[in-house]
Every structure is written in C-alpha cells, then in structure tokens.
Amino acid sequence: MRSFSQFACVDWSGAKTERPHGLAVATIGTEGPPSLLSPVPRWSRQGILDWLFGLVQTGQDMLIGFDLSMALPFLDQGAYFPEWDASPSDAKTLWSVVDSMCRHDPHLSVSSFLEHGQTSRHFRHSRDHVGDLFGQGLGRLREVERHQRTTRQANSASCFNLIGAAQVGKSSLTGMRMLHQLDGHIPIWPFDPVPDHGPVIVEIYTTVAALAAGQPKGRSKVRDRAGLKQALTRLNTPTPRRLTRYDDHSTDALITAAWMKQAATDPRLWNPPAMTEEIAQKEGWTFGVV
C-alpha cells in the first residue's frame, strides 16, 4: 500500500450555473491544519478540472476525494438503462456517453443527457415528472449504496433521483463528464490500479467522514467554528484560521480532507471485502465503506 503526502476533498455540485455555491476544495499535508483553496472568482467545475490537470503536470502525491457517485446502478438489472439498446456496458463507457451527449452543454452541465428520449425515462426529475422506468420508492441503488444501508455506515440516495436536498444525481452526472476528461491522466480508484506515485482520485461520501469525526447521525453538518474545531479535534487535526463563512460545503471539505489523511493508511479501505471486480468496473465503490 502506497503513501501520500497530500490529501484533498472536493465538495462537488451539479447546479447548471458556471460557478455554483456548492463547490469547495480543501487540502491538507502530513502536518498542520486543512485549508480551503479559494480562487477569485469562486470555483467553477472547469476550474477544478484545470486544477487537477495541474496536479498531473507536477506529479503531486495527492489523494483526491470527490463527493459524488462515479457510476449508476447496473448490477440490480444488468444494465444502467434497461430497454435502451445503446446502454453502456461499464462505468468508463458510461462516462464517455454522458460527456459526448453533453458536449454542447456549458460548464460541464448535463441537460442534454437528462432530456434524451431514452435516458430521461429512468430519472425522477420533479414531483410531477417521474420517468416511467424510475421504479418505486427510493429508486435504484448501486451495490455499495445497498451495502452502506445494510451496515448502517451511510444512508445514500439513488443517483436516479434529481430532487430534494439529498439528491446526488446531477452532481454525479456532471462528475462523470469530468472523470471522462481525466481518464488516462489521473488514476481513478477502483477502476484503475493505484500507481506508486502521483495523484489518485477516489469517490468519498462526506457523511462517512463526519461520523468518524463524531458528528451524530442525521445531524452531520457543521456550520460554525466551534463545531469545526470539535470535529477536527476528534480527527487529531488542528483547526484552520477563521473562515469568512462557515457553510457546510466548506466544513464538509475541511473535515473530509482531514479524515482522508487517516483513512488512506487503512488497507481494508483499499480492498473492501464486499467489492468484487465486476462491481468495481461497473459501479465503483465509496472509499471508506467496508
């Protein structure tokens, strides 16, 4: 198992706008507190993609966690999009299809994919617009999401759900555009082997980090300095200098970056027993879930 000298958490967003308020990037080294990277004007998805390509150029030994789902459910029905002849066969092909279909959508957005005659049938777009293949209840789940719920490590929502505060569908799909453009430049676990050096990307779920930092289930968000200090103290990490604003996107990123520094040394997290090779290649896995 390799080591990393730097760690980063990216709190991602699927909002259509160029610079969504939900984007945040925090980094931490082997010592000291985590810190926010705060460009002016604020982050865009393209700006984060450019930052990642910069890491490729410098070859930094950084583990980067993205708070999004890197694939859609496949194994429950043997396809991402049953009844569509062009349904992709694995996650990397899915990324390619999403990016290709949305190549004219600005800011790495995914309107074209969600409006496509076949793919739109699988999503809950609004309370009054539910695709005929969305299914019942929560919607379809990946194997890692089923595992999270069964073991009570997390309470993930379906990627096919696009409404409500807990929805992750739009952020995951915009993230797939980014992943496709990064493919071959930065290894993405568990789809690629982990190299001996350089940056590596993993999927993370900030709630897993928050629970490890002592936050109560159902109330994992931190929105003040006292709460941030308490969470980081539980992770044996110093508190950064005072933030301009204590929104949960920034604190999620800071807490998760600190957690990743510790979690990266746990060999169990790199080889979760419930993750088969088929799951890894078709649906991916959330780093930190065992």
Q: What pLDDT score was predicted for residue 221?
A: 86
One domain, residues 57 and 186:
yes
- The residue type of 283 is E
With respect to residue 279, please indicate whether it lies within any of the assigned structural domains. no
Q: Which H or E element spans position 211? A: helix 206-212
Least confident of 53-62, 183-192, 241-250: 241-250
Q: Which of 161, 180, 199 is the last residue of a domain?
A: 180
Q: Which of 154, 180, 206 is the last residue of a domain?
A: 180
Q: Which one, of 44, 32, 1, 73, lies nearest residue 257 by Cα?
A: 32
Confidence tier at 163 by pLDDT (50, 70, 90): very high
User: For 30-41, how does the pLDDT look when each residue is reduced to its tens digit (9 = 90+)?
Assistant: 999 999 999 999
With respect to residue 281, please indicate whether it lies within any of the assigned structural domains. no
Residue 2, pLDDT > 90, answer no
One domain, residues 129 and 173:
yes
Q: What pLDDT score was predicted for residue 155?
A: 85
Residue 88 dihedral angles phi and psi, to the nearest 5°: -65, 155
Whether the upstream peptide bond of residue 88 has omega within 30° of 0, thus cis, is: no
With respect to residue 286, please indicate whether it lies within any of the assigned structural domains. no
For strand 62-66 and strand 6-11, is the pairing parallel, antiparallel, or unpaired? parallel
How many domains does one find in the chain? 2
Is residue 118 within 8 Å of 81, Cβ to Cβ? yes
With respect to residue 86, please indicate whether it lies within any of the assigned structural domains. no
Q: Is the pTM of this model over 0.85?
A: yes
Instruction: Tell me the β-bridge partners of 64.
Output: 8, 201
**Cα–Cα distances in Å, from 177 out to 96, 111, 197?**
7, 12, 25
Q: What pLDDT score was predicted for residue 60?
A: 94
Instruction: Tell me the β-bridge partners of 197.
Output: none
One domain, residues 173 and 189:
no
Distance of CA 119 to the CA centre of its chain: 21
User: For 108-155, how does the pLDDT look when each residue is reduced to its tens digit (9 = 90+)?
Assistant: 999 999 999 999 999 999 999 999 999 888 899 999 999 999 998 888
Q: Which of 146, 180, 214 is the last residue of a domain?
A: 180
Confidence tier at 164 by pLDDT (50, 70, 90): confident
Q: What pLDDT score was predicted for residue 53?
A: 97
Average pLDDT, the chain: 95
- Mean of the pLDDT values across residues 16-22? 93
Q: What pLDDT score was predicted for residue 212?
A: 93
| Burial (CB count <10 Å: 0-12, 13-18, 19+), residue 185 | middle
User: For 90-105, how does the pLDDT look when each residue is reduced to its tens digit (9 = 90+)?
Assistant: 999 999 999 999 999 9
One domain, residues 120 and 260:
no
One domain, residues 175 and 35:
no
- Mean of the pLDDT values across residues 66-91? 97
The percent of residues in the chain predicted with pLDDT above 70, rounded, is 100
With respect to residue 202, please indicate whether it lies within any of the assigned structural domains. yes
One domain, residues 171 and 186:
no
Q: What pLDDT score was predicted for residue 136?
A: 85
Is residue 73 within 8 Å of 142, Cβ to Cβ? yes
Q: What pLDDT score was predicted for residue 1?
A: 73
Confidence tier at 244 by pLDDT (50, 70, 90): confident
- Mean of the pLDDT values across residues 161-175? 91
User: For 179-228, how does the pLDDT look when each residue is reduced to its tens digit (9 = 90+)?
Assistant: 999 999 999 999 999 999 999 999 999 999 999 999 877 777 888 999 99
One domain, residues 99 and 44:
no
Q: Please give the residue range of the domain that contains residue 256.
A: 6-69+182-270
Q: What pLDDT score was predicted for residue 7?
A: 98
